[in-house]
Amino acid sequence: MGGFREGKILAGAGALIVALAPLVLGFFAPFAAFVGLLLVLEGLREVAKAYGEESAYKWAVKAVAVEVVGFAVFAALGLYAAYLEATLCEWWFCSPTPRVFGRAALLVLAASQLAGATLFRKAFDALASKTGEKLFKAAGVAMVAGTGAAFALSAVAAVLAWADASLSIVPGVIAFVIIAYVAPLTAWVPAAFAFLLAPEPRQSEQAPAGNKIQP
């Protein structure tokens, strides 16, 4: 059972890093959050192995992959938007193009976060059904609700950017705050407690010898 105990502590610590990194690390938060997600994956793998619930680990891996790709596209579009603003804008006039790209970058980020949250919810639901720990379900619901709201606001900001870039600022800022601060805090703190409180599987719930999750 050592693997299970270590796994749930590792996953709980990783979840807390994801939740708190934006509040304390500023610019370095994305890198810390990525490390936290890797810890969650490694710990979740041990928990899923102990319960014989391979699907939970697979859903989580897909979720992290989607979120990482989405963040990479967001960063690329954001840098391009900054380049356009530096080259196309003067103090008396600025083309709307940079802001359009900026809102598009935010929309991509929000969409990838929502997709990742949906996949994480599947993983957490699978763990909840096996462990009986309801906080897994609460974390999944909070994750989808937060990222869903951010995606809706990002879509509004992207549409408004075409008409009047100034109108897109408020929904864009709110969406970013939800993605960066609200969603991680409200979803990953319950997830951390869910991992830490997950009971050890009974003998009948343990994975059969031939049903191990491969690293």
* Residue-level pLDDT at 46: 93
Show the CA angle centred on residue 76, arms to residues 29 and 111, nearest 5°.
75
Query: Is 174 within the bounds of a domain?
Result: yes
Query: Is 28 within the bounds of a domain?
Result: no
* Residue-level pLDDT at 43: 94
Query: Is 24 within the bounds of a domain?
Result: no
Query: Is 207 within the bounds of a domain?
Result: no
Q: What is the DSSP string of 134-182?
A: HHHHHHHHHHHHHHHHHHHHHHHHHHHHHH-GGGGHHHHHHHHHIIIII
* pLDDT digits (tens), the chain, 215 positions: 458 899 999 999 999 999 998 888 777 888 999 999 999 999 999 999 999 888 999 999 999 999 999 999 999 988 888 887 777 666 555 566 667 777 888 889 999 999 999 999 999 999 999 999 999 999 999 999 999 999 998 888 888 877 766 677 788 888 888 888 888 889 999 999 999 999 988 765 555 544 445 45
**Alpha-carbon gap, residue 118 to 111, rounded angstroms:** 11
Query: Is 130 within the bounds of a domain?
Result: yes
43: nearest Cα among 123, 99, 118, 101: 123
Query: Is 20 within the bounds of a domain?
Result: no
Q: What's the chain's length in residues?
A: 215
Q: What's the gap between Cα 9 and its chain centre?
A: 19
Structure tokens at 151: 């995606």
Domain count along the chain: 1
In this prediction the pTM is: 0.84
Q: Residue 95's domain spans which residues?
A: 55-201
Query: Is 37 within the bounds of a domain?
Result: no
Query: Is 17 within the bounds of a domain?
Result: no
User: 158: which residues sit within 8 A by CB, 6+ positions away?
Assistant: 100, 103, 104, 106, 107, 168
